[in-house]
Amino acid sequence: MTLSIPDLVPVRARHPEAVAEAAARRTRRPLVGDSGRLMIVAADHPARGALGVGDRRLAMADRAGLLERLCLALSRPGVDGVLATADILEDLLLLGALEDKVVMGSLNRGGLQGASFELDDRFTGHRPTDIERMRFDAGKLLLRIDYDDPGSLRTLESAARAVDDMAARRLPLFIEPFISRRAAGKVVNDLSAEAVTRSVAIASGLGGTSAYTWLKLPVTDDADDMREVLETSTLPAVLLGGDVGDSAEDQAGAYERWRKALALPAVQGLVVGRSLLYPAEGSVEAAVDTAVGLL
């Protein structure tokens, strides 16, 4: 039974078992399809309290609007799947939007945007056992390392154990690593070539095996540096999108950076969220189709 968005609350209230039933009957597919490339739409931001897009501080707070945008993006040719937390993935399951799609569960993080404990990134989302139970296809975790914050050691250790637990289930795990620091009270990710290189080396060595580990990497400040950055590891990588800005020029600049990096052999695809779901100009369809075209 496929639901519409207004049906979600009544079904969740009266028939919570419908979520597990939808997960059990979902048609699955290989992680990497015939194209050899991955195009994943990301929507794990709300659970971190990161609801803003550009100057729209609560853009992602409208759940019905977000689900409409996700369903539209998932319907476009060349879009392989979605990355999100349990609440959003379960809504999409009930809406029937995840058939024959790659479903990536976000392990998420407890370090909420703007909180004093932002870099205490213990996991608060999917556990590996949840991803296995729901018959999802992969997981993702964020790994932010601040050399001046003792909480980063806990984050590293928990990330390593997640690598082990996912590999024991033969489930791919996408690690999104950053070298971070606090500047004027705000956490900033260092996108210099040296910092991204260092983060790649650290992430690649986590856990007792790297057989199921993928990297989810930002494009460096100078996109031409990505070739040397990617020489740091033999793990497959996808590019993350991030918030690309408010203008059409910002969006065009992001597309150009992605295009350059996608030409590198280690890069297997894109994982992009807000910049496609809430484009600076134009429609969701146009933004998604442009990104797919880069692949």
5-294, superfamily in CATH? Aldolase class I (3.20.20.70)
Residue 245, pLDDT > 70, answer no
Q: pLDDT grade, residue 246 (50/70/90)?
A: low
Per-residue pLDDT tens digits for 180-224: 998 888 888 999 999 999 999 999 999 999 999 999 999 988 888
pLDDT of residue 195: 96
pLDDT of residue 244: 61
Strand pairing class (173-183; 267-272): unpaired
Question: Which amino acid does the sequence have at 188?
Answer: V
CA gyration radius, the chain: 18
CA distance 246 to 57: 12
Specify whether the CB–CB gap between 251 and 242 falls below 8 A.
no
| pTM, to two decimals | 0.93
Domain ranges of the chain: 5-294
Q: pLDDT grade, residue 51 (50/70/90)?
A: confident
Question: Which amino acid does the sequence have at 85?
Answer: T
Specify whether the CB–CB gap between 144 and 152 falls below 8 A.
yes
Q: What phi and psi, each to the nearest 5 degrees, are found at residue 175?
A: -105, 130
Per-residue pLDDT tens digits for 58-117: 888 899 999 999 999 999 999 999 999 999 999 999 999 999 999 999 997 777 777 777
Higher pLDDT: 36 or 79? It is: 79
Chain centroid to CA 226: how far? 20
Q: What phi and psi, each to the nearest 5 degrees, are found at residue 251?
A: -65, -45
Taking the alpha carbons at both ends of the chain, their separation in whole angstroms is 34
Residue 243, pLDDT > 70, answer no
